[in-house]
């Protein structure tokens, strides 16, 4: 019920929705777009008061939301909140919404279809995401949040989803051709200290973030295909028990590293993001310092199940995995 946390979650979800849309993964596009929209609406309500998020029929939830948790008969983890549609209705009484309740229906129907039935009408994906973008921009304006800060690389292209998808597909095809051409050449040693990994004091995304967007689109598509080839027809227990020998996680040749457990965004396998201490952004300026002190930026991800590999902070940012953290890091 915290505005800051809900905003951060909405940003990650919308980021994943746009990335999925660019790779024609319609199910994930509407699922994450729907979740992101709900979290944004709830962030707007939480900005007024946390009690606006809870189901008014549940008194224990109201007690938690109003700071009276000591009197509640159930823990805060069991707080009952309203759904996305009710959040939209409540938000609409507090600020002007550019769409009507009926306009939101395609997005919520598509999200629920994927979440509960594993399917939705693909032909409605673009319209559903367009509504998500429209509602998101209205909420961001109400909360006085900057569009570039929230949308990142999608800040300009979000208003023309068809062009965004076409551009990403064309870029992915070009990148695949480059990969094929390079495969025919003599293999060269991999260079960890490339231009994308240089510490940047102000903003580690820089101009190369667009290149990362293209690279991630290709990598995600390849990882999905590899996963289907390796595990087609297998049950989840069989996949979990697959004879996969995970290589030594030590990246000692790159200097001291930290890692944090995460779920693979492609196949859901347990994996981890790594932070090479040699490749952290400089801490000379205030804006590069996370609140509360020193934090660490992940700069590498490798899934041993589907083969997805993200090689720098730019690529992690595309999939919403580059948030700095001060907790849950472990030493290699």
Give the pLDDT score at 313: 82
Q: Are 293 and 325 in contact (CB under 8 A)?
A: no
Q: Are 324 and 318 in contact (CB under 8 A)?
A: no
Give the pLDDT score at 72: 92
Full-model pTM:
0.59
b/e map 202-231, b = 16+ CB within 10 Å: eebbeebbeebbbbbbbbbbbbbebbeeeb
For the cut 90, the answer to whether the pLDDT of residue 272 exceeds it is no
| Residue 310 bridge partners (DSSP) | 301
> Among the listed ranges 133-137, 195-199, 221-225, 303-307, which one has the minimum average pLDDT value?
195-199
Percent of the residues in the chain that have a pLDDT greater than 70, as a whole number: 77
Give the list of residues 6+ apart from residue 49 with CB closer than 8 angstroms, or none. 65
Give the list of residues 6+ apart from residue 119 with CB closer than 8 angstroms, or none. 27, 113
Q: Are 320 and 11 in contact (CB under 8 A)?
A: yes
**HSE-CB for 120 with a 13 A CA cutoff:** 27
CA distance 306 to 308: 6
Give the pLDDT score at 175: 65
Q: Label residue 292 by pLDDT band (50, 70, 90).
A: very low
Give the pLDDT score at 188: 41
Give the pLDDT score at 255: 60
Helix H or strand E encompassing 196: none
Q: Are 25 and 120 in contact (CB under 8 A)?
A: no
Give the pLDDT score at 323: 78
Q: Are 133 and 11 in contact (CB under 8 A)?
A: no
Give the pLDDT score at 108: 94
For the cut 80, the answer to whether the pLDDT of residue 287 exceeds it is no
CA triplet 151, 50, 52: central angle to 5 degrees? Answer: 95
Residues 88-98, mean pLDDT to the nearest whole number: 96
Q: Label residue 24 by pLDDT band (50, 70, 90).
A: confident
CA distance 35 to 11: 10
Higher-confidence position of 330 and 63 = 63
Give the pLDDT score at 41: 97
Q: Label residue 132 by pLDDT band (50, 70, 90).
A: very high
CA distance 325 to 282: 15
The DSSP code for 54 is B
Q: What is the mean pLDDT of the chain?
A: 79
Q: Label residue 242 by pLDDT band (50, 70, 90).
A: low
Q: Label residue 320 by pLDDT band (50, 70, 90).
A: confident
Give the pLDDT score at 305: 81
CA distance 269 to 332: 20
Give the pLDDT score at 314: 82
Query: Can you tell me whether residue 271 is helix, strand or coil?
Result: strand
Residues 268-288, mean pLDDT to the nearest whole number: 70
Residues 260-284, mean pLDDT to the nearest whole number: 79
Give the pLDDT score at 282: 64
Residues 143-156, mean pLDDT to the nearest whole number: 90
Higher-confidence position of 47 and 25 = 47
For the cut 60, the answer to whether the pLDDT of residue 131 exceeds it is yes
Percent of the residues in the chain that have a pLDDT greater than 90, as a whole number: 36
Give the pLDDT score at 174: 72
CA distance 18 to 10: 12
Q: Are 220 and 308 in contact (CB under 8 A)?
A: yes
- Torsion angle, CA of 197/201/207/213, rounded to 10 degrees? 50
Q: Label residue 179 by pLDDT band (50, 70, 90).
A: low
CA distance 276 to 278: 5
């Amino acid at each position: 019920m915290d505005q800051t946390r809900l905003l951060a979650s909405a940003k990650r979800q919308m980021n994943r929705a746009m990335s999925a849309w660019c790779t024609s993964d319609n199910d994930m596009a509407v699922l994450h777009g729907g979740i992101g929209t709900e979290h944004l609406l709830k962030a707007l309500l939480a900005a007024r008061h946390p009690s606006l998020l809870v189901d008014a029929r549940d008194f224990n939830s109201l007690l938690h939301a109003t700071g009276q948790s000591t009197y509640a008969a159930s823990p805060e983890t069991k707080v009952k909140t309203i759904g996305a549609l009710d959040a939209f209705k409540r938000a609409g009484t507090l600020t002007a919404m550019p769409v009507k309740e009926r306009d939101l229906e395609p997005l919520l129907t598509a999200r629920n279809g994927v979440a509960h039935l594993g399917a939705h009408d693909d032909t409605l994906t673009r319209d559903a995401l367009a509504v998500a973008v429209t509602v998101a921009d209205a909420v961001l304006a109400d909360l006085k949040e900057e569009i570039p800060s929230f949308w990142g690389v999608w800040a300009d292209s979000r208003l023309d989803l068809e062009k965004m998808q076409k551009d990403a597909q064309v870029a992915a095809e070009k990148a695949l051709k480059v990969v094929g051409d390079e495969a025919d050449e003599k293999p060269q040693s991999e260079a960890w200290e490339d231009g994308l990994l240089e510490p940047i004091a102000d903003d580690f995304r820089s101009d190369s973030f667009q290149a990362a967007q293209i690279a991630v689109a290709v990598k995600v598509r390849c990882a999905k295909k590899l996963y289907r080839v390796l595990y087609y027809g297998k049950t989840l227990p069989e996949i979990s028990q697959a004879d996969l020998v995970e290589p030594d996680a030590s990246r000692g040749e790159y200097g001291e590293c930290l890692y944090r457990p995460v779920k693979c965004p492609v196949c859901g396998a347990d994996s981890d993001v790594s932070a090479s201490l040699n490749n952290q952004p400089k801490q000379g300026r205030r804006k590069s310092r996370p609140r509360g002190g020193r934090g660490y930026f992940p700069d590498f991800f490798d899934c041993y199940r589907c083969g997805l590999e993200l090689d720098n902070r730019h690529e992690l940012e595309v999939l919403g995995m580059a948030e700095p953290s001060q907790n849950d890091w472990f030493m290699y």
